[in-house]
Amino acid sequence: MELPAEIRSLIEGLERRIATLEARVAELERENAALRAENAALRAENADLKRRLGQDSSTSSKPPSSDGLRKKPASLREPSGKPSGGQAGHKGDTLKRVADPDRIVVHEARACRHCGAGLTLSMAQETETRQVFDLPAKLIEVTEHRRPACAGCGARTGAAFPEGVEAPAQYGERLRAAAVYLHLQQLIPEERTAETLADLFGAPSICPASVMDWVRRKAGALAPVAGRIGALAAAARVRGLDETGFRVVGKTQWLHTVATESLTLYRVSDKRGDVPNNLAGGVVVHDGFKSYGALESARHALCNAHHLRELKALIEFDHEPWAALMRDLLLDANRAVGEAKARSQTTLDPALLGRFEARFWDILREGLAFHRKLPRLPQAARGKTKRRPGENLLRRLRQFKDDVLRFLVDFDAPFTNNLAEQALRMMKVKMKISGAFRTFDAAQHFAALRSIIATARKQGWNILQTLTRDAPSLITALPA
């Protein structure tokens, strides 16, 4: 039955209205999707700006010196629960008396203040002593070497002058070593090193050029020692690797370090990726810099201090719930290893190890699921797929899981790479004090002598005595 014209007209109007509304809905959906994408991009940009503005040394790889005068960020270290100050049983370092003082001053009294009797040294039954440690009034002594001439012909024959005594007047080995120490260990610029020697020791006529010449000579004389340190560090079972940039003659150069518990080697290169190529076997600890992956014959351990800083940033800036769980896992695992070492264990209980690994995978799955629910970030026309910092960290933790948890299965592998990072901090201090090196040779001399000084410090050697010894004796003293 044919519908009346009025109804057909009404139906057609409704159909047109529905089509219009459907088009409008589709348009609104497209607009909503665009707004969602824009909102996600703005939120990501806002989080990135907050991250950049709020980051400090505790939430990124920035050095502590970059924190400026802001309130010092909270340490990533866990509270030990111990009271501040010296602990019970701790051996103090109080200044102790010596059995053979260099000088003795006797203070005599003429009469006893109690009985009034006259006093002489022979009458004293006991002597009260006190010792004062101080610098001598004259810090430099002048030794004159004489070689008499023949009374008959005037020729100088007989004994030769000691080795190194060449000029009519010159500075001795210990004072030159002190200049090298001040310049390279305390990082005092050469001008101020000369000034310090004049002010403290009364050493006249020292110029900055003399200081640099002494550094050059000492670096050449002890070059074999630096080479031996490098060979021993390369053969060590566990070594920390790191690098930092600095300026030489207006160009960026790189200071690489190989650090162990007893050795430190510094090396200058014009490329950041010029990692040591003589490390075979053992474990290398580093921050995940891609070039270290070329060391295929060694097992790798990633620095978890870097991971903790990244996780702290994700907790504070991005509010990602999985990050706190991963942080707690890493800290719990490190604590468990420390407790096992305290019990003289060499491995972790297999059941406990399994639980830590299971927690690790569970947190990774939770984190990746969290990111899959987030709207995608707007993609650039070219380049890699853009991901949030949290997702990048999750993918890295998953890919390098064995390297992240190396400390759990190898108790010799440290939890962090602090040993190598601490070795490089002095370069940042030098840059702040002195700026760039004027020549590439000066940078090389600095690296060689700092290798020797830093190693001597770890060996417990006296630094000034180390800088006055010859290369063969230092090489012999190094641990095999």
Return the percentage of the chain with pLDDT > 90, whole number. 59
C-beta separation of 456 from 466 below 8 A: yes
Q: Is the pLDDT of residue 118 over 70?
A: no
Residue-wise pLDDT tens digits, 381-427: 677 778 889 999 999 999 999 999 999 999 999 999 999 999 999 88
Give ∠ CA 365-398-47 in degrees, rounded to 5: 75
Residue-wise pLDDT tens digits, 239-261: 999 999 999 988 999 999 999 99
How many residues make up the chain in this entry? 480
d(CA 453, CA 461): 9
Lowest-confidence pick of 77-86, 123-132, 330-339: 77-86
Query: Is residue 248 exposed (0-12), middle (13-18) or buried (19+ Cβ within 10 Å)?
Result: buried
Q: Is the pLDDT of residue 109 over 80?
A: no
Query: Is residue 82 exposed (0-12), middle (13-18) or buried (19+ Cβ within 10 Å)?
Result: exposed
User: What is the DSSP code (8-state) at residue 67?
Assistant: G
Reference 410, options 476, 333, 327; nearest CA is 333
What is the average pLDDT across 42-59?
75
What is the average pLDDT across 123-145?
84
Mark residue 395 as left, alpha or beta (left: phi above 0; alpha: psi -120 to 50; beta: remaining).
alpha
pLDDT at 6: 81
pLDDT range class, residue 67, cuts 50, 70, 90: low
What is the average pLDDT across 423-432?
89
pLDDT range class, residue 428, cuts 50, 70, 90: confident
SS3 91: coil
E-state strands within 138-292 = 238-248, 251-259, 264-269, 283-286
Q: Buried (b) or exposed (e) across 132-146, using 16+ Cβ within 10 A?
A: eeeeeeeeeeeeeee
SS3 81: coil
pLDDT at 8: 76
pLDDT at 309: 94
Q: Is the pLDDT of residue 151 over 80?
A: no
pLDDT range class, residue 123, cuts 50, 70, 90: low
pLDDT at 74: 60
d(CA 38, CA 62): 31
d(CA 214, CA 82): 47
> Torsions phi, psi of 302, nearest 5?
-90, 145
Lowest-confidence pick of 87-96, 198-207, 335-344, 439-448: 87-96
pLDDT at 86: 64
Give ∠ CA 293-308-294 in degrees, rounded to 5: 5
What is the average pLDDT across 177-201?
93
d(CA 258, CA 265): 5
d(CA 473, CA 246): 33
d(CA 52, CA 47): 9
User: What is the DSSP code (8-state) at residue 318?
Assistant: I
Reference 249, options 445, 441, 446; nearest CA is 441
Query: Is residue 214 exposed (0-12), middle (13-18) or buried (19+ Cβ within 10 Å)?
Result: buried
d(CA 320, CA 317): 9
Which residues make beta-bridge pairs with 302? Answer: 286
266's CB contacts (< 8 A; 6+ apart) are 255, 256, 257, 423, 446, 447, 448, 450, 451, 454
**Which domains does the chain possess?**
219-301+418-477 (3.30.420), 304-374+388-409 (no CATH)
Distance, C-alpha 97 to centroid of its chain? 36
Reference 190, options 427, 446, 428; nearest CA is 446
